[in-house]
Structure 1
Amino acid sequence: MKSKKRVITITIYSLLILLALISIVPFYMMIINATRENKEIIMGFSFLPGSSLIDNYKTMMDYVNIWAGFRNSLIISVAVTLLSGYFSALTAFGFAVYNFKGKNFLFITILLLMMVPGQLGLIGFYELNKVLGFLDTYIPLIVPSIASPFVVFFLRQYLSTTLHPALLEAARMDGAGELKIFHTIALPIMMPAVATMSIFTFIGSWNNYIVPLVILFSPEKYTLPVLMGFLKGSQVAQNLGSMYLGIAISVVPIMIAFLFFSKYIISSISAGSIKG
């Protein structure tokens, strides 16, 4: 019996290690190719880094200021993540705790909005910002994140399973206001779920390509995905090492986000499962 269990354990761990290697290899190839020159990349993959990293970097910087795009994307993504996390948590708190007229209708509306692709309203979104005078600014890329249907839905479901009504009643008896209850009781309870959604919100904003491409006109305001799109259509596209280097730079923040916040995904999932 013990030997059978040991074989199963070894098999599971072997499969997990294999899956981890399959996931890591593309990133490793990308980083290695960023240090190699064209002819070396064309000849095939190598596990050893090349010596053309600086040349590839100079070639890339001759055509685009990758760090300006990095800065722009970082500003937008951080602002979107903070606004979406806070206001979605506040909205979810209202849906989970209070009973008011039209509550079910509004929640169903949120569910329906989750199913509508954002690209369908892109023309109307452009015309609205044109009338408001917000074109070529970061406002259309940041402010709409306050209303995030999926994040509200996720946080509302999470809060409904983790927040006990007795906590709210005790706080009200102590004289706490509703905003204080939200900030001192509900928000800390929701933090694992907020952190989980913040990861996906950050990644979605960082990788957003079509909306910045439509809204922004000034090259100095371009986000990193837009700059990478222009990079593919320039002379740099002939230098594969520079292309790999640009992609590697654009992927780093996403890897860091998962590295530091992945534990919150596990904790939020386990919290919901334990409660259920």
Structure 2
Amino acid sequence: MQLDSPLKKLCIYTFLILGGLVMLIPFYWMFVLSTRTTTEVFNFPPPLVFGQYALTNYQNLLKATPFFLNLWNSIFVATIHTFLVLLFCSMGGYAFAMYNFPGRKYLFAAVLATLMIPWMTGIVPWFMLMKTLGWIDSFKALIIPGIANAFGIFWMRQYISSNIPSELLDSAKIDGCPEFLIFFRVILPLLKPATSALGIMTFIHSWNNFLVPLIIIKNESKLTLPVALNRLFGDPSRGFDIGVMMMGTSLAVLPLLLVFIFAAKKFMDGMTAGAVKG
């Protein structure tokens, strides 16, 4: 028997709320463990409420690692990388969507083909290239590679093809607007949903990037948060302090949560752009 509409909505919303709460449990437990000692963490049953050692774990975290310097490194790298990705991928997607140049289909197919190649297969030649360029122990190796990636170009190309009419480009040309001004003053402001979604995904990926900083960065003052926090596990002078590790992880996750909360609407607009035609 088919359910009535109100009951059906109630079931859907109940399911979504329960699913959301389940997704929040790991975050909640992480914050709880950041306020506990290692002994309390391994108690049974495990602690489910906040403890009294948040300040102690925070102080021990600052003693174990230059947390705020590592935080600044992550913010700097992720922000600059995200900005450049949005710039170059939007320009690349705009070119593929709006200009009919010789070999466009084949070039776009070649760009998409790179998505089928696992990144790890090229890690050795990539490292040799970074060494040749003199980018070892430099933020350049964390920022520059991937700023014109295939996924970003594909994402922007699809959005522009579906939502930006070619007549708008023709009108701007008739008015005598130069090519670069057409993109920056006419097209780019219309790409906010797509750039917001791509920006959030890029920022999170850059923020959580662990392998590349681990390979490239040698100077401890240039470490990003994932690598710096990982070194807490291998510090023999401090032992295995779960509370301090969870405190560092909790503080590292907060910027990502804030970015997503403030940009959630734009993110969802970008994810659903083109799904419904008006």
TM-score range, shorter chain: over 0.9
| Counterpart mapping for 1:200-219 below 5 A | 200-219=201-220
One-letter identity of the residue aligned with 1:10 = L
CA contact 1:35–1:53 (8 Å) conserved in 2: yes
CA contact 1:93–1:159 (8 Å) conserved in 2: yes
Q: Give the match for residue 24 of structure 2.
A: 24
**2:242 aligned with 1:268, yes or no?**
no
Q: Give the match for residue 185 of structure 1.
A: 186
Q: Give the match for residue 12 of structure 1.
A: 12
CA contact 2:30–2:250 (8 Å) conserved in 1: yes
The one of 261, 274, 278 aligned to 1:259:
261
One-letter identity of the residue aligned with 2:59 = K
Q: TM-score, normalised by structure 2?
A: 0.94
Alpha-carbon distance in 2 for matches of 1:104, 1:265: 29
CA contact 1:29–1:45 (8 Å) conserved in 2: no
Mind listing any 5+ residue stretches in structure 1 that lack a counterpart?
A: none
Shift of 1:265: 2.4
Deviation per CA, 1:147-202: give whole Å up to 9, x if none.
Answer: 21100001001100111111111111111111111112211121210110110100
Shift of 1:268: 2.2
Deviates more, 1:45-54 or 1:32-41: 45-54
CA contact 2:74–2:225 (8 Å) conserved in 1: yes
Deviation per CA, 1:211-239: give whole Å up to 9, x if none.
Answer: 11111111111111111221111245521
Alpha-carbon distance in 2 for matches of 1:269, 1:127: 37
Alpha-carbon distance in 2 for matches of 1:264, 1:207: 21
Q: Give the match for residue 41 of structure 1.
A: 41
**2:231 aligned with 1:224, yes or no?**
no
Please give the secondary structure, in 2, of the residue aligned with 1:145.
coil
Shift of 1:258: 1.1
Alpha-carbon distance in 1 for matches of 2:133, 2:49: 53
**2:56 aligned with 1:55, yes or no?**
yes
Shift of 1:80: 0.5
Please give the secondary structure, in 1, of the residue aligned with 2:42.
helix
Shift of 1:61: 2.3
Alpha-carbon distance in 2 for matches of 1:266, 1:119: 30
Shift of 1:255: 0.9
Shift of 1:3: 7.8
Q: Give the match for residue 89 of structure 1.
A: 90
Q: Give the match for residue 105 of structure 2.
A: 104
One-letter identity of the residue aligned with 1:271 = A
CA contact 1:192–1:268 (8 Å) conserved in 2: yes
Shift of 1:125: 1.4
**2:163 aligned with 1:162, yes or no?**
yes
Deviation per CA, 1:96-122: give whole Å up to 9, x if none.
Answer: 111112211210111011122222211
Alpha-carbon distance in 2 for matches of 1:275, 1:155: 18
Shift of 1:240: 1.2
The one of 245, 248, 251 aligned to 1:249:
251
Deviates more, 1:246-255 or 1:156-165: 246-255
Alpha-carbon distance in 1 for matches of 2:241, 2:84: 39
Aligned-residue CA RMSD in angstroms?
Answer: 1.8
CA contact 1:162–1:275 (8 Å) conserved in 2: no
**2:171 aligned with 1:176, yes or no?**
no
Shift of 1:2: 11
CA contact 2:67–2:225 (8 Å) conserved in 1: yes
CA contact 2:137–2:218 (8 Å) conserved in 1: yes
Seen in structure 2, the aligned counterparts of structure 1 residues 20 and 105 have a Cα distance that, compared at 3 Å, is same
Alpha-carbon distance in 2 for matches of 1:96, 1:79: 26
CA contact 2:97–2:160 (8 Å) conserved in 1: yes
One-letter identity of the residue aligned with 1:34 = S
Alpha-carbon distance in 2 for matches of 1:119, 1:262: 31
CA contact 1:37–1:241 (8 Å) conserved in 2: yes
